[in-house]
Amino acid sequence: MNEAWTVLLGLLQRGDLYGYEIARAMEAEPFRGRLAMSMAQLYAELHRMAGEGLIERAGVEAAEGRPAREVYRITHAGRDALAQALRTAWAAVEPERTPLDIAALFVDALPEEDVVQALRERIRRLDEERSQLERRLAREAELARETGSAGVRSMVVDLLERMRLRVDAERQWTRDLVARVEAGAYGPPTPVSQPVRRASRRRATPGLGAFTFVLHSHLPYCRLAGQWPHGEEWIHEAAAETYIPLLNALYDLKEEGVDYRLTVSLTPVLTEQLADRDIQSHFMVYLAQEIEAAERDIPRFGEADQAHLEYLARYYSRFYRHVRQSFVERFGGDIVGAFRRLQDEGYVEIITSAATHGYLPLLSRDSSIYGQLRSGVESYRRHMGRSPRAIWLPECAYRPAYVDDDGTVRPALEEFLAPLGLTCFFAETHAIEGGRPVGKAAGDVAIGPYGSITRRYVLPVDESQELAQGGTTYQAYYVVGSSRGLTEPPVAVIGRNNRTGQQVWSADLGYPGEADYREFHKKDERSGLQYWRVTGPRVDLGDKDLYHPDWAADRVRDHARHFAGLVEQLVRAYHESTGAYGLVASNYDAELFGHWWFEGIDWIREVFRLLSESDIVDLVSASQFIDEREPEAVMAVPESSWGVGGTHWTWDNDATRWMWEPIHEAERRMERLVSLYPQAQGDLRLVLNQAARELLLLQSSDWPFLVTTGQADAYATERFTNHLERFRRLADLAEQGGGPEARAYAEGLYELDKVFAHIDYRWFAARQGTAE
């Protein structure tokens, strides 16, 4: 039995515990540092132990405002296994292996001074470790005397003493090794054969043009804010059906030697949630529930002699088990880290967005636009270990500079982007081509009264600059949205290719409407699993045929070949008509693939395989294309979005107009708080930082969108109102000078709205008319 199981059984033999209690116990003395285990890994181990009969579920602990938690109990078999493991461990003598053992075998591979410097650093760290052990020994010995405990407490002292003796031995050995290295005791390196690398499929010469998928990954903030049908389960579903299957596909392609490139946005608010331990642990519970639902269906269908439904239930059981195994073992319970590694290796470019997907053109204060963008950039830096280069503007909503009613010149959005190092964004097709809205933005809907305020736009160009007239989505353009000219550095825009977009989005032309693909909308009444196929475009849900995964797989290959051929055709046609090297940017919501279109991830994988072999098309990321093909023209992008009519109506209409005045009032109040407390410290700073978080969450474009579409209007209204009330209460407390009550309230809110840990309220200082 492994060490983790021994520790878990040892904790449970002292009493029943739920997962988070176990995690806290493992982080405390004397277990701290013994096991490095994420919440996802912990729940996976608990499920395995339950499957072996070592532990069992003792019940469910429910509390208002958070998901139910499963309580675990050790079984008789578990107690027997623990006893046997402990007897074995007491008598065990096993060699210790560390990374130093490998390094020592290649001591001659580095210059002598490098080795000596590293070893001296090791001695310094060992000295620090010994000092920490001394302090812990003194503390534990004192506790043992105070409590009169001669049991576990005394054993902890003995274990610490053992650790100190081992550190002393390591220090002496390292000092001796330094002396031997300096004396030249180790000879020159032994030559070894070079490993054979799999040949890259990337051509040495460029094709006629380039292609990139741009997948926009975003979900609203829903941590601890409800489960089904609206709430945190949105994240669980997307992780299980989109993010982890996509990662599996990308890592599989890498291992196959496919030299693909992908542009993917992870919005900051989504990234923060995917990295959250509570969401990770709840995700493991969700996967267990889906597996259990499928496995309950197996005997139900078997007893009813419904062989194909029984087969599909087993199919889903395998699917969710594979997702869980990938999450825990392949990606270490860290979805964000898995994407980050692909970026570090050059396969993926991860782009950012505004912090909570705030609808930037409708924010009334430039301080809020800056705060949304700065918070998003800082979150990206913390999670990705680098600065972002490109951004997905929320809802593809752009506006140039304009003169406000008070005469203030509001900066164009690119004037906020450039100082933050964001040098590329994406726009809808009609914003680049200058024609009528197409795709999702098609429709003849007038902008609402809120947007009817007259805006006197600054002429965005001086006579020395030549603007592109009627642009093309096959090229990138530098953006000039004000009379101040190009920003420094210049910011480029890439337009969505509508022809490739139609192949996925269009109800008439899109692949997901294929009869053999899985039907999204019909679910089993008991398990909620989707056992049916589309069958036909106008087939009633009650008449849908059963799903056949093998039939769907055939259609995936057919549609991937069609799409790859279409991309080649578009690239070739543009090159033949212009002589230029063009880009096809195919932009989609990431959650469309896998979640809505169940087979979509397999389709992406197959498209990459085909296009990686193309002599016509190069696979690129967005910033790579800008780097290699610097824009040659400048464009004044009009105010636009992907919404109905290409306007702001989707977010600003009769149903949502009541939201905007409270948002604008909160923006102004945040500026006043920063002015009142320019250098707050202690409790007051904590309160002001939480107020900034609540303001960001209040500004999310998701709330008006969900109200407009009616998808979850009551939920969105409640969430909007909650964040507004929280902001106002924090502002009241801050204006009263803070204090213990204010601190307690802010800390309680942070446990609910735990995002952007390193936020600085001063980012929301007044800057009207100024982007930097």
Which residues have CB under 8 Å from 229's CB, separation 6+? 712
Residue tagged active-site, from 170, 589, 665, 718? 589
User: What's the rounded Cα separation, in Å, for the pair 7 and 41?
Assistant: 14
Phi, then psi, of 105 in degrees rounded to 5 = -70, -20
Which residues have CB under 8 Å from 486's CB, separation 6+? 465, 478, 480, 634
Tracing tokens 């983790």 back to the chain, one arrives at 4
Phi, then psi, of 405 in degrees rounded to 5 = -60, -30
Omega into 220 within 30° of 0, i.e. cis? no
User: What's the rounded Cα separation, in Å, for the pair 704 and 358?
Assistant: 11
589 annotated active-site: yes
395 annotated active-site: yes
Strand order in the sheet with 55-63: 17-18, 66-74, 55-63
Number of C-beta neighbours around residue 66 at 10 A:
15
User: What's the rounded Cα separation, in Å, for the pair 309 and 302?
Assistant: 8
Q: Where are the beta strands (DSSP E) in 528-654?
A: 582-589, 617-619, 634-635
User: What's the rounded Cα separation, in Å, for the pair 521 and 532?
Assistant: 9
8 Å CB contact between 6 and 82: yes
CA 641 to chain centre: 23
User: What's the rounded Cα separation, in Å, for the pair 580 and 197?
Assistant: 35
End-to-end CA distance of the chain: 58
User: What's the rounded Cα separation, in Å, for the pair 581 and 145?
Assistant: 78
In this structure, which amino acid lies at residue 23? A
Residue tagged active-site, from 272, 395, 667, 683? 395
Smallest CA-to-CA distance from 760 within 407, 382, 465 is with 382
Q: Where are the beta strands (DSSP E) in 223-324?
A: 262-266
8 Å CB contact between 273 and 279: yes
Q: Are strands 262-266 and 348-351 parallel, antiparallel or unpaired?
A: parallel
Omega into 229 within 30° of 0, i.e. cis? yes
Tracing tokens 């005045």 back to the chain, one arrives at 661
8 Å CB contact between 200 and 257: yes
Q: What secondary structure does DSSP assign to 391-448, as a single string?
A: E--GGG-B---EE-TTS-EEPPHHHHHGGGT--EEEE-HHHHH-SS--GGG-S--PPP
Number of C-beta neighbours around residue 76 at 10 A:
9
Tell me the catalytic residues: 395, 589
